Amino acid sequence: MSGHWCSGTDTKLRALYRIQDEIASKAVIADAINQKELKTIAGTDQTFFYGLQAEEMIVSAIVVLEYPSLKFINYSYSKMPVDFPYISGLLSFREAPAILKTFYALKNKPDLLIINRCGINHPRFAGLATYVGVILNVATIGVTKSSLCGSGEVPREEGEANVIKYLDRAVGYYLKSKKGSKPIIVAPGHKVSLETSLSIIKSCIRKHKLPEPTRIAYRCANKTKKEKS
C-alpha cells in the first residue's frame, strides 16, 4: 500500500482535498431535525485487525437506540479490507466505505447518527461525520477525544462546554462530560446546528465519559472483531 501511495502522492492528495472541499460546501450546519421529535439515534465506531493473509481489515458497527431512553433497538456491522492508508485528516477515505456499507444494511434507519470522529472541526471542515452525513443525507454529529484543529478554553466543571474556533469560525465544543475526565469534543457533521449537537450529546451521557451510542458501538465493533478475526 505504501508503494502505491509513493507514486504521484501530491497529485492524489490534492484530488482528495478537492473532494473534501466539495463535501464541506454541501454540509448544512443548521437543524434539519427537531430534537424533541427524534425517535431513534445511532452510534458508529470502527476497529481494525490483520487477517490471515496479513491483510488489514476494518470492522464497522452501528448501534440503533430509542431516543431519549437510549433503549437498544438493533445493530449491524460490516467487515471489509482496508484499501487506504492512515493519513491524518483523510480518515473519511479509510473508514467511510465500511460505515456506508453498515448503514445500508440496517433494517431500521436512525434519525441521527453519532460518529466517533470529527465533524466540521477539521482543517477543511469535512471530517468523517460531515463526509458520511453528506453522502447519506442524514443528520450526523462527530464526537472525539482530540481535535485536528481549532482552540478554545478548556472547561473545568462537569457539564461545562466551551466553543472551539478555527479560522474565526465556531466548529464545535469542548465538553466536560464527567468529573475527573478530560473533555470530549462535540461538533456538528451535517443537518445539525452547533447548539443542537451539544444538547443531543449531553442528553446521551450516562455513567460514562462518552455518549452511549458511540460507547456501545465501540463495544460491539470490538466484540465482532474478536468473533470474526
Per the structure block, which three cell numbers stand in for 158?
A: 462537569
Strand order through the sheet with 112-115: 72-81, 56-66, 40-50, 112-115, 139-144, 184-190, 169-175, 161-166
Residue 81 bridge partners (DSSP): 57
* CATH value at residue 142: 3.30.2170.10
- pLDDT of residue 4 exceeding 60, the answer is no
Which pLDDT does position 54 carry in this prediction? 85
Domain span holding position 191 = 2-228
Rounded to whole angstroms, how far apart are CA atoms 224 and 37? 32
pTM metric for this prediction: 0.94
125-160 pLDDT, tens digit per residue, is 999 999 999 999 999 999 999 889 999 999 999 999
Which pLDDT does position 229 carry in this prediction? 58
Number of domains in the chain: 1
Which among 202, 169, 174 is positioned nearest to 187, based on CA atoms? 174
**What value does the mean pLDDT take over residues 114-118?**
97
Which pLDDT does position 47 carry in this prediction? 96
The DSSP symbol for 154 reads P
